[in-house]
Homo-oligomer: A and B are copies of this chain.
């Protein structure tokens, strides 16, 4: 468990173990193992929704097993135009079942996104800007309330930098018009204030693909305006090639200076040819076939390790969401999955699993208590289980140093 550069991810806890009578369990062997990461290793859960939303308690698929073996946070789709294609008929019940399924499997759930110009409700196109604003506010209140029991975090607004000047469509959508008429900050404020008022406990993310100074300027304006942003989201789709450590660190340096947690919200690395660098809107790149190749898979495996290491080494990063598990149905048809279309894991899957469940993970470990019944446990921040003589107790490592007294139970 090498810790160079990752010290801030670890904590030490002094565990005092009591026996069934409440006396210190001196000089005995106990077993300690990690159960969960505090860090959000996320992925989209789109591919599992049909399974997850079934009325009956369906058995987990092989793909689901692969998903849960690495990831602990599921991003679910709330694209307005798909979620509520007909006004007043939102897809709430099905998506709520899916979200609950993930929660029941020990996952956190994030909703993506509450406000975005792409895939927004087409039935708003002709409405007045005042009506659009009212509808957006109502939509946020409704959905955040409906999912408050299962969704812990939201992309409150997506791509606000380009939002008012977005042109890559035949007819201007209502959200772009709203952002043009009201301004970016007012639109961001609207999203955050409605979501915050509805679920004060939710983590609200400002999310963008724009890594330029434009996003810095937006963030500074939003923060100066007093909007309470819980995390800065950086999309980091890398269809055009891995950023590399230098660029990644430069981006982290620039966006961490606001003192807010950073979420890498949409991470992709392809295991095939790279998208040409001249493409500006990734959606414009459409090719009939984009295969995963052996050489591409090795590159992807190498890059995903380098990227996750770089990100985890930076104290501001609190979440990474990979964008898709399988190549089957992947965004843009790109081989950006960690699992091939035939369901077999790529090297990148194994490499990431090794990081998340081996290098940064405390496997069951035998320790011996001292005379006062104490063992010192050092591990990656997260949830842990201690076992002794068939009895177990749970504890967490939540910070650099702590102490806890446990009385394992049947």
CA distance in complex: A225, B217 (Å): 13
Q: How many residues belonging to A are interface residues under a CB distance threshold of 8 Å?
A: 24
Q: How many copies does the complex hold?
A: 2
Contact B217 A161 (CB under 8 A): yes
> A180 near B: Cβ within 8 Å?
yes
Q: Are B257 and A213 in contact (CB under 8 A)?
A: no
8 Å CB contacts to B: which residues of A211-229?
212-218, 220-222, 224-225
A303 to B: closest C-beta gap in Å = 25
A254 at the binding interface (Cβ < 8 Å): yes
Tell me whether A244 is interfacial, beta carbon within 8 Å.
no
Is A343 part of the contact surface with B, judged by Cβ < 8 Å? no
Q: Quick check: is A334 within 8 A (CB to CB) of the other chain?
A: no
Cβ of A213 and Cβ of B214 under 8 Å apart? Answer: yes
Give which listed residue, B180, B212, B220, B257, contacts A221 with CB less than 8 A: B220
Is A165's CB under 8 angstroms from B225's CB? no
Q: A220 vs B186: C-alpha distance in the bound complex, in angstroms? A: 9
Given contacts A165-B254, A225-B225, A254-B165, contact A183 B220 (CB under 8 A): yes
Q: In the complex, A391→B186 CA distance in Å?
A: 58
A90 to chain B, nearest CB (A): 31
Secondary structure type dominating chain A contacts? helix
Tell me, yes or no, whether A185 is within 8 Å of chain B by CB.
yes
A15 part of interface (Cβ distance < 8 Å): no
| CB-based contact B183/A224 at 8 Å | yes
**Which residues does chain B contribute within 8 Å of A218, judged by CB atoms?**
217, 220-221
- Cβ–Cβ contact B254 & A213, under 8 A: no
Interface assignment of A393: CB less than 8 Å from any CB of chain B: no
* Distance from A406 Cβ to chain B, minimum over Cβ atoms (Å): 45
Given contacts A213-B165, A213-B210, A214-B214, A220 and B254 within 8 Å (CB-CB): no
Residues of B within 8 A of A210 (CB): 213
Is B213 within 8 A of A221, CB to CB? no
A209 CB → nearest B CB, Å: 12
From residue A72, how far is it (CB to closest CB) to chain B in Å? 34
Quick one: given A217-B218, A224-B224, are A180 and B212 in contact (CB under 8 Å)?
A: no
Which among B212, B214, B225 is the interface contact of A224 at CB below 8 angstroms? B225
30 A-B interface contacts by CB (under 8 A): A161-B213, A161-B217, A162-B213, A164-B216, A165-B213, A165-B216, A165-B254, A180-B257, A183-B224, A184-B216, A184-B217, A184-B220, A185-B221, A185-B224, A210-B213, A212-B212, A212-B214, A213-B214, A214-B214, A214-B217, A217-B217, A218-B220, A218-B221, A220-B221, A221-B221, A221-B222, A221-B225, A224-B224, A224-B225, A225-B225
Q: Which 9 A-B pairs have the closest CB atoms?
A: A221-B221, A214-B214, A217-B217, A217-B218, A213-B214, A185-B224, A224-B225, A183-B220, A214-B217
